[in-house]
Chains A and B, each alone.
Chain A
Amino acid sequence: MEEKEKKINLQEPEITFSGTRETGMTVPSGFFEDFQAKMEQAIDREAAPNIGRISAEGQEPLHEVSRWNRWIGIAACAVIVAVAYPLWQVLQPVDGANTEEVLAQSAIELATEEEENDLVFASMSDYDLYDLYCEL
């Protein structure tokens, strides 16, 4: 019990000090003068008005469009549609066939009848050709 009371005793222990309570630590000469100047600069940088910083200044003001400007915009859109539609019609093939059909047709027309015959006979063996000529 006595031991416990001794442990929770909050009386400040007696310490005999030998001289001043110095830690033995030192600072370089002129450190505090230099520090003050350095600190002043750091504070001025902190206090500088928004240089290189992003800040929310508020919402950008609304850009109002007048009624006249609005009608100009609508008219410009109408003109674009009016010009684009006839142009699109002009560019359509005359017979109504689409571009792929036209191209396919022209490719077939490029080959003559003789060329087509060559193509057929080239795939036949000499023997078959002989038979064919005999029949003809």
Chain B
Amino acid sequence: MPKQSTTKALNPKEEAELKAQLADPEKRRSAFSRLISAYQEQLYWQIRKLVINHDDTADVLQNTFLKAWQNIGSFRGDSKLSTWLYTIAHNESLTFLTKMQAERDLTIDDPEGYVQEQIQADKYFDGDEAQRKLLRAIATLPAKQRQVFNLRYYDEMPYEEMSSVLGTSVGALKASYHFAVEKITAFFRKEEI
């Protein structure tokens, strides 16, 4: 079973070509297939780290691409395709979590119980105890801080790009990541005691 993204990101030349094709109504459909192929894995993992459960992730990923397709006409090409898609995926994930937690009468910033349950129930998890523990620690973070931590820690996304995705200043993102690491460290210390 694959664990991480194996597809390579598009190089600047390929990205420029794809953007041009997406802007052309006649080539848009085939270009969008290339877009799905190029970004589905990256987006999947981004969503999965927030939503945890595989089946829910597949649903959110589908909604993300449908939203992208519906709004492709309004994409001006100023930002990178990955940034634009990450933004849609981020919003779709938060919408999904809000909906799930409203159904379960939990708040979005207190999802530990929900995430714990998902980790336990998810059959597509074969990580070791340290990975499970890290996910539990991440689950204690508020939703936006969790996203910052995931993008920085797992995806190693530059702060400048993260700033475009999340609509937050670079300084605020650095502070958010700093506090996230502190909270996770505290969580590990507490677990050790």
Contact = CB atoms under 8 A, between A and B. Distances in A.
Interface residues of B, number: 45
B65 to A, nearest CB: 6
Nearest to A40: B33
A25 B3 contact: yes
A25 B50 CA distance: 12
A22 B171 contact: no
Choose among A20, A35, A46 the residue with the greatest number of B CB atoms under 10 Å from its CB. A35
Interface in B111-152: 122, 124-128, 130-132, 134-135
Contacts of B156: 21
A108 interface: no
B178 A36 contact: no
Interface of B: 1-4, 29, 32-33, 36-37, 40-41, 44-45, 48-49, 52, 54, 58, 61-62, 65-66, 69-70, 122, 124-128, 130-132, 134-135, 153-154, 156, 171, 174-175, 177-178, 181-182
A15 interface: yes
Binding site secondary structure of chain A: loop
B181 A13 contact: yes
A29 interface: yes
Nearest to B37: A36
Interface residues of A, number: 29
Q: Which 8 A-B pairs have the closest CB atoms?
A: A24-B127, A24-B131, A26-B1, A10-B174, A13-B181, A26-B124, A21-B154, A39-B36
Contacts of B36: 36, 39-40
A56 interface: no
